[in-house]
Amino acid sequence: MSAAAPSPEILAAFEAAKGFMPTDEGLALYAAAMAAGGLGLPLLEVGTYCGRSTLLLADAARRAQVTAVTVDHHRGSEEQQPGWDYHDPETVDPELGVMDTLPTFRRTLRRAGLEEHVVAVVGRSPQVAAVWNSPLGLVFVDGGHTDEHANADYEGWAPHVAEGGLLVIHDVFPDPVDEFTGQAPYRVHRRALASGAFTEVSATGSLRVLRRTGAGA
Ligand SMILES: C[S@@+](CC[C@H](N)C(=O)[O-])C[C@H]1O[C@@H](n2cnc3c(N)ncnc32)[C@H](O)[C@@H]1O
């Protein structure tokens, strides 16, 4: 096992968790989180869902002795609503009839023994970003896929990435092949590079890792 790879137990928990991230992208996210952990700053995720990727950030945070913060309103993205391809009926609150991924997320984290390394913020990403005021070692953007949401996530969180810190963007599809998730993350990826503040470090599947190498966003 390399220092930047999760243990077999954490990898198994990741693969067993509900979610959409393939293993190769998870391993790239984990390596990025381990590298960013060296800055001694929190690692933040936008888009908790049921905690699949959070497990990896949590374990990297545990090893780096920092905290993982994960933000989600837990009501699901557009493409996860009933009638859409990414809908999972098990995520619907039977009493309210709306999506609520928070209980599943909490079970995922508890089972992996990682609860104490995570602060879960329940709320809309731009609202949470508006009250956030400290530097981050890593920002992982995996929230809403409309241009409105993806741009708001970038504008709200990218400015908090510390010098040398990492901005990780999921679902970057240069070709317009995925009609459900769309290309907003790709446009945000282009925007980050065009800002001159970020330089690409790696690309794995649809996951892009960028490092802050300049000021701004
Ligand atoms: C693709 S899922 C995240 C997947 C997760 N990272 C994983 O690996 O399984 C996107 C999540 O973003 C959340 N989301 C979408 N727009 C949001 C917003 N504006 N504020 C907070 N959460 C949002 C949805 O509720 C959903 O759980």
180-198 per-position pLDDT tens digit? 678 999 999 999 999 999 9
Q: Tell whether ligand 1 has an atom less than 6 A from the beta carbon of residue 125.
A: yes
Q: Is residue 131 part of a domain?
A: yes
pLDDT at 185: 96
Task: Say how many Å lie between the CA of residue 141 and the centre of ligand 1.
Answer: 9
Residue with tokens 């040398």: 164
- Dihedral sign (CA 40, 46, 49, 53): negative
Task: Say how many Å lie between the CA of residue 74 and the centre of ligand 1.
Answer: 7
Cα→Cα distances 213→34, 82, 157, 193, 201, Å = 18, 41, 16, 10, 11
Mutate to test the pocket of ligand 1, among 53, 75, 77 (most ligand atoms within 8 A of CB): 77
- Identify the CATH number of the domain in which residue 198 sits: 3.40.50.150
Catalytic residue among 145, 149, 170, 189: 145
Which has the closest alpha carbon to 126: 143, 109, 102?
Answer: 143
pLDDT at 175: 87
Looking at residue 52, its amino acid is: R
Q: Is residue 1 part of a domain?
A: no
Q: Is residue 50 part of a domain?
A: yes
> Number of folded domains in the chain?
1
- What does the alpha-carbon distance between residue 63 and residue 54 come to, in Å, rounded to a whole number? 14
Q: Is residue 119 part of a domain?
A: yes
Q: Is residue 52 part of a domain?
A: yes
pLDDT at 85: 85
Cα→Cα distances 107→8, 93, 100, 138, 208, Å = 19, 15, 13, 24, 28
Q: Are 178 and 190 in contact (CB under 8 A)?
A: no
pLDDT at 176: 80
Nearest atom, ligand 1, residue 53 CA: 8
Q: Is 145 known to be catalytic?
A: yes
Q: Is residue 21 part of a domain?
A: yes
Q: Is residue 2 part of a domain?
A: no
pLDDT at 145: 92
Mutate to test the pocket of ligand 1, among 24, 49, 86, 172 (most ligand atoms within 8 A of CB): 49
Global pTM reads: 0.97
Positions in the chain short of pLDDT 70: 1-3, 178-180
Q: Is residue 138 part of a domain?
A: yes
Residue 67: domain span: 8-212
Q: Tell whether ligand 1 has an atom less than 6 A from the beta carbon of residue 70.
A: no
E strand spans, 47-189: 68-72, 118-122, 136-141, 161-169
